[in-house]
C-alpha cells in the first residue's frame, strides 16, 4: 500500500491498524506547485519502481 501526503500527522495515531496488516510505503511531498507536479510524480514512480525491484 502506498501513501502520499504533505501531512501524515492526522493519521499517525491510527497508522498501526494499516501497517499491522499490509506492507506500507509512505511518500512525503514537501512542496509541489504548478508544472512541478507532473515532474514530481515521475520522480515518485521511478523511485517506487526502483524500491519494489530491490524487494524481489
Domain locations along the chain = 2-54
**pLDDT 10s digits, 21-53:** 888 877 776 665 665 565 666 677 777 777 777
pTM exceeds cut of 0.75: no
Q: At 9, is the pLDDT very low, low, confident or very high (cuts 50, 70, 90)?
A: confident
DSSP code string of the chain: -EEEES--GGGGGGHHHHHTTS--EEEE-----TTHHHHHHHHHHHHHHHHHHHT-
Amino acid at each position: 500500500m502506498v501513501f502520499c501526503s504533505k501531512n501524515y500527522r492526522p493519521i499517525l495515531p491510527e497508522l498501526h491498524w494499516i501497517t499491522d496488516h499490509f506492507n506500507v510505503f509512505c511518500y512525503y511531498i514537501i512542496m509541489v506547485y504548478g508544472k512541478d507536479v507532473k515532474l514530481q510524480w515521475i520522480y515518485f514512480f521511478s523511485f517506487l519502481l526502483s524500491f519494489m525491484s530491490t524487494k524481489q
